[in-house]
Amino acid sequence: MPHPQSSSGPRVTITGVPVSDGEAGPYGIATGPDGALWFTKVHEGSVGRVSPRGGVSSYPLSSADSGPTVIAAGPGDGALWFTEYKGHRIGRIAADGTVDSFALPTPECGPYGIAAGGDGAVWFTEMNTDRIGRITTDGEVSEFVLPRTVAGGYPSAIAAGPDGERMWFTLNLANAVGSIRTDGSGIEIHPLPTPEAGPVGITAGPDGAMWFVEIGAGQIGRIDAAGRIREFPLPDRTSRPHALVTGGDGALWFTMWGANRVGRITADGSRIDEYAVPSPASEPHAIALGADGALWVAMETGSLARVGIA
């Protein structure tokens, strides 16, 4: 049933869409080139799809224990790419459900974040090995070691910059945001002002800057091309923001894993609004802008939430 909500921000309607049982764990979500929503089921070892008409499909991976996590549309190859955190592989799923999987050179590397780059390749983070990875659509893998100053930094989410020449990533335990040129050079590290902020999700904003969440500090952050950082505290500093995306309304929308809510911050940082998701303790994780103009949220308890903006 839709749940209309309003605050000082736009009026939204949030609808829960069941896609699995409560054990499968919907985690990552992305809009595919086919207009469907594709999502990972981290505990089941499969990838799901919700068609534009609402039909739900599921595609099992070769191992139920591979831990598929973040998923993203590929660089114009008509497929979705995802990380297998426990399987230490990168996966690719075509629109017809055909799955390919690519082993990574470094053992036990723990790939997590993934995103298409402006260079026509797919980029990913390796949480366990202080590396940023790159894979071509043919499956050729390169790895780039981060500076020793951020050893053990837990590179997490990654996203393409607005100029198409850099990939930006968060370093959760190093309390920093980094960037790397798409030729593998020019790694830059930008420490955050707030200690133990724990950055996770990152995305390109509508204002030419990169935006990220601070799960440990309960803040939203912004970093421009020159490395200047601003931080915006949330009303509930214990809400544990996890992921964010630019919405069709020009604002940034984010999930609050610890508060069972979805948030919105304007691009100038002047206003923050929050909206409760339909079911209690649903653990909202990834968020994506759908082809229908709504925001879609993967909730680990077995549903997606559709956030329609009035």
Q: Cα-flanking dihedrals φ and ψ of residue 150, to 5°?
A: -120, 30
The annotation status of 283 as a binding-site residue, yes or no, is yes
CA distances from 218 to 234, 237, 308 (A): 6, 4, 25
Which distant-in-sequence residues (6+ apart) come within 8 Å of 8 by Cβ?
Answer: 271, 273
The annotation status of 231 as a binding-site residue, yes or no, is no
How far is residue 223's CA from residue 131's CA, in Å, rounded to a whole number? Answer: 21
**Pair 242, 257: CB distance under 8 Å:** yes
Tell me, what DSSP letter sits at residue 148?
G
The closest alpha carbon to 203, from 166, 249, 251, 158, belongs to 158
Is 285 one of the catalytic residues?
A: yes
The annotation status of 300 as a binding-site residue, yes or no, is yes
**Pair 150, 130: CB distance under 8 Å:** yes
Residues carrying an active site annotation: 285
User: What residues form the annotated binding site for substrate?
Assistant: 242
User: What residues form the annotated binding site?
Assistant: 242, 283, 300
User: What residues form the annotated binding site for Mg(2+)?
Assistant: 283, 300
